Amino acid sequence: MSMVIDWELILQHSPALIVAIPLLGAFLTPLIGRIGPKVRNGFVVLIALVTSFFVFLLSNDILTNGSIRTYVFGGGKPLINNRFAIRILFEVDGLNAFMIIIGAILVLVAVIYSLKYMKEYTGLDKFYTLLLLMSVGMFGMMMTGDMFNLFVFLEITSIAASALIAFWTSKGKSVYAGLKYMVISTIGALFILFAIAILYSQYNALNMAVLASSIQYSFLDKIAFVLLIAGLAMKAGIAPMHMWMPDAYGRAPASISILLVGATQASLYALFRVTFTLYGNNLTAILKHIELDLLGNSIEFDITLNGVLGILFIALAVITIIIGVIMALKQTDFKRLIAFAAVAEMGYMLLAIGAAITTIGGIDPETGAMIIPAQGLMALKGGIFHILNDALDIGLLFLVAGAVYYATKETSLNKLGGLARNMKYTTVFFFIGLFAVAGMPPMNGFASKLMIYESTYLINPILAIVAILCSILLLAMFIKVLHSVFLGPKIPKFKGVKEVPKTMLFAMAIIACIIIFIGLFPNIVVENIVTPATEALHNFSNYIGGILI
């Protein structure tokens, strides 16, 4: 018998399935957990694998064809008589496809890593339920084309993540970190909801594409814009609103820290989507025309929104990088140190995107794309590329920190030492993560950071110098970790430490392999994955046109 698989049908439904399958899995997990822990573990891995399969299928289709897929829940057309009917829809373009690839890698790795890492704790049914719910929220945020839906998924991610950060309820600091995360993300999300309500009140629409085509940048739109940017920047951990990040990342179980990286980047994605797509038409709007009479020479220039916004983003990014790096250097807790490094990495992405925003020269009336010079385009590519690299690098380092914790039950850098002899593979993975996060040549971090350095140097040399200096500090801080955790004489307390189980090593190996592959062949990744994502970002008219199909 021959079975014909209708790939087009599967592709058509995969945006919904990517969210629906983990959701179904999440609610089935407590029931299946009654059969036995092994069956449940297998089930969760299966769910993660099936979800990733659909993700890669969908991303492959969108990235190769450059198409946009919309999925209207409940069926029907999004437009009735040329007016948008209120429908919840997912719209997946190049950038979304790029983001869900990151999400899929992180979810898969987190699930595989958790199998052994969390084995000795109780309440694992709830742990896996929440883990799958968190991935639902993450994927939803990365794919939705509806502003209110974005808020809902943001809250789903926050609630699940907060419960997971506080999973080790026997530790007071974990619970407090979970509460802090909840307070911060709820307040951020409420202001985002307020902004959405303001937009709805004016344009009677919630769909991103419809809003993008109708926003006039009136005073109320300005307020909504500020609320959205501030809320999403806080969720993305931009300094000085980054303080929840070290707490949450540092206290969560390692497999949750890596998922939190994904959730943070989903917020960053939403920030970019809001600036580039939702306010895309107004990004080059002239805010003020200034005429100065300076020593007889009259100087005329326009203040445009993208100039102001770009400088704001760059300022925040530089603060983020510096605070992250400087604070990380003095940390004595392994995971907290990585968390501050993650803050700094967030700054790199925002720096590149901010630099790109300043270079936007206008909107091409024919194609509807933004006119961006070569260096701006490169900055955009570098920033987008760095999202992928940051997720992998920081994720790998968190997994290594988790492995060290699993083997020694210790995260303090003052007490650890000499583990390289006992944990050979973990040490190798740490080396890979160290080089990658510091942007050393054969690893992936180098490729994207070089693009950021080059482009920001062309835009403003000082930015590049700050970025390079802080990269050196990143290297320095991880050399410190290398020295105090892995090198040095064997500490008597840790003489009997054994290498972590194979599934944990396997999870780390997956990320390490991807890191090395991207590091050796960045061109392949940039051409096939990053460029379509970048195009999707600056060619925002396609996104608006996507719902008309």
- CB nearer to other proteins: give 113 or 446: 446
181 or 543, CB closer to other proteins? 181
Residue 41 Cβ, how far from other proteins at the closest point, in Å? Answer: 18
Based on its alpha-carbon atoms, the radius of gyration of the chain, rounded to whole angstroms, reads 23
Minimum CB distance to other proteins, residue 307 (Å): 10
d(CA 181, CA 156): 13
Query: At its nearest, how many Å lie between other proteins and the CB of residue 260?
Result: 15
What is the rounded distance in angstroms from the CA atom of residue 22 to the CA atom of residue 110?
14
Choice between 329 and 503, CB closer to other proteins: 329
The least distance separating other proteins from the CB of residue 178, rounded to whole angstroms, comes to 6
Residue 411, classed as helix, strand or coil, is coil
State the Cα torsion 411-415-419-422 to the nearest 10°.
-90
User: HSE-up of 289 (CA within 13 Å, CB side)?
Assistant: 2
**Residue that the structure tokens 């898969």 belong to:** 108
Task: Give least dist CB 9 to other proteins, A.
Answer: 10
CA gap 196, 14 in Å, rounded: 27
Distance CA 254, CA 257 (A): 5
Q: Which amino acid would we find at residue 425?
A: Y
Which of 459, 323, 329 lies closest to 382, judged by CA? Answer: 459
**Closer residue to other proteins, CB minimum distance, 23 or 115:** 23
Q: Do 375 and 286 touch, CB atoms closer than 8 A?
A: no
Task: Report the nearest approach of other proteins to the CB of residue 181 (Å).
Answer: 9
Q: Which is nearer to other proteins, 378 or 387 (CB)?
A: 378
Query: Smallest gap, in angstroms, from Cβ of residue 434 to other proteins?
Result: 15
What is the spatial distance between Cα 527 and Cα 368, in angstroms, rounded to a whole number? 22
How near is the Cβ of 125 to other proteins at its closest, in Å? 9
Contacts of 525 (CB under 8 A, 6+ apart): 385, 388, 447, 518
B/e letters for 39-75, b = 16+ CB within 10 Å, e = fewer, are: ebbebbbebbeebbbbbbbbbebbbeeebbbbbbeee
Other CB atoms closer than 10 Å to residue 516's CB: what's the count? 16
**374 vs 548 by CB, closer to other proteins:** 374
Nearer to other proteins, 44 or 447 (CB): 447
Instruction: Indicate the SS3 state at residue 300.
Output: strand
Residue nearer to other proteins on the CB measure, 155 or 499: 155
CA distance 242 to 184: 10
